[in-house]
Amino acid sequence: MIDRVTAILLISPAPRALADFYRNTLGLPLEDEEHPGVPLHYGCDVGGVHLAIHSSAGFAGVPRRDAQSPVMVLGTSSVRAVAERLSANGVQTIGPTDHGFGLIVSFRDPDGNLVEVLEEYEAANPL
């Protein structure tokens, strides 16, 4: 049975530009990756999950912009700092908003993918 998520792949018509967006706006350490039989793509590990951006060439399906799903949720210890960094880079955001379990700032990346950045509230210490 399934016991973990190993990777999130973003499929893009402009993978280098999308990788640059994530590097510059969120500071993700995406690096060039090449494997036998796989074109150049960009990847890094985030919290034990491999995040990679691949070219849409060779992937089945039609790109869809502004879909509701899937949503990539990234974690942070300071959602307000992330929101400020996104704004400084010209990214339109929604939030931060309180969702009861944490604060979330939402935005669309250049390919139209919905991304949320979550700062979870610390669990109250049990008595």
Q: Strands 31-35 and 38-46: what pairing?
A: antiparallel
pLDDT at 107: 96
pLDDT, tens digit (0-9, with 9 covering 90-100), for 22-67: 999 999 999 999 988 888 999 999 999 999 999 998 788 888 888 8
pLDDT, tens digit (0-9, with 9 covering 90-100), for 111-123: 999 999 999 998 5
